[in-house]
Amino acid sequence: MIRIDDLTLFVRTAALGSFSNAAREVDLLPGQVAAAIKRLERELDIRLFARSTRSLRLTAEGEQYLPTARTVLDALKEGREKLRRESAELQGTLQVSMPSDLGRNVMLEWLTGFRRQHPSLNLRLFVSDQVADIFRDPVDVAIRSGVIEDANYIALPLAPWNRRVLVASPDYLARKGRPAASGDLLQHDCLLYIIHGRVYDKWPVGGRVFTVTGPLLTDDADLVRRWAVAGEGIAYKSWVDVREDVLAGRLELLLPDYHGEPAPLNFVYPHRQQYSPAVQQLYSMLKSRFAESESGLPTLL
């Protein structure tokens, strides 16, 4: 069986050019390094170094094996560092910004559980439909929907498959009827809300854009979901925001064969230097949870 220490000494000897130099680096005798190389050669059944009284050089087999040895040692190092990061106690304060309905109805329970797993970590949540400026606002991480085009941000995918869907409650559909085609939306009460300072009343559905109307308008996207559940109209919402309502029967999917607008979710932070252990573990947890949320979304051909 190959010893990791012998593999390490082989790589360092190849880099330093002598048993003596490698021995000094790890506080061993040159003979101990030579013995380690011999053990490795026996295990591999090849000669790694051509030795003489004045020189030490890699054989052709040694040069061929050296990249493999480095890859093995790098993988072991990465594994150790990953375990160290994940086992270390998270401390300090983590400030997270997220959209209103996503934060209240989807992520709140996940984030509360994450904080419970890391009792020395303080969590500050900023829940709003206003887009946080992660360079000026007191925010470490922002959860954002849509395509991130600003090259100044680091954006990691959370739910790249997410898209908007049309939903309404069984009560509304019983009273107003079910739209059979996307053009029928023009005859229905559509629930409107404000995004980035403008009313979101142009709904891309099935390759066309429809300018819809309705008697209700809000600047809080969570209220749209609540209105839809209460039977007040049709909502055009992100799947992750309405998934639980659809699965529970409080809302029904409309026109599932029509393509809704893509709404990928991203995990955004300012700089790579800010990818701290807390940020890394938060991203890992959220990516795993959002992956579970894809189930139930109609597959589009």
Higher pLDDT, 198 or 137: 198
Every domain of the chain and the residues it spans: 4-87, 92-161+264-293, 164-254
pLDDT at 175 over 90: yes
Average pLDDT, the chain: 88
Structure token pair of residue 282 = 């938060």
For tokens 């934060």, the residue is 103
Residue 232: pLDDT band with limits 50, 70, 90 = very high
Q: ∠148-298-161 over CA atoms, to 5°?
A: 20
Q: Per-residue confidence at 207, pLDDT binned at 50, 70, 90?
A: confident
Paired residues of 142 in beta bridges:
97, 268
In the predicted structure, residue 84 carries a pLDDT above the cut 70: no
Alpha carbon distance 225, 36 (integer Å)? 67
**Order of strands, sheet of 217-218, starting from the edge strand that comes earlier in the sequence:** 198-199, 192-195, 217-218
How would DSSP label each residue in 80-118? Answer: HHHHHHHHSPP-EEEEEEE-HHHIIIIIHHHHHHHHHH-
192 within 8 A of 219, measured Cβ to Cβ: no
pLDDT band at 283 (very low <50, low <70, confident <90, very high): very high
Q: What is the pLDDT of residues 138-155, one digit of tens each?
A: 788 989 887 666 557 788
255: pLDDT strictly greater than 50: yes
The band of 301, judged by pLDDT with boundaries at 50, 70 and 90, is very low
**Rounded mean pLDDT, 273-287:** 87
Q: What is the pLDDT of residues 107-133, one digit of tens each?
A: 999 999 999 999 999 999 988 877 666
Domain 4-87 matching CATH 1.10.10.10: the answer reads yes
Residues 10 and 240: their CA atoms lie apart, in Å, by 52
Note the pLDDT of residue 193.
92
Closest CA to 51 of 31, 27, 25: 31
Query: Same CATH fold, 164-254 and 92-161+264-293?
Result: yes
Which H or E run contains 31?
helix 30-44
Q: Using 50, 70 and 90 to split pLDDT, how confident is the model at 134?
A: low
Q: What is the pTM of this model?
A: 0.67
- pLDDT higher at 62 or 53: 62
Domain 164-254: give its CATH superfamily: Periplasmic binding protein-like II (3.40.190.10)
CATH topology of domain 92-161+264-293: D-Maltodextrin-Binding Protein; domain 2 (3.40.190)
Cα distance between residue 60 and residue 259, in whole Å: 58
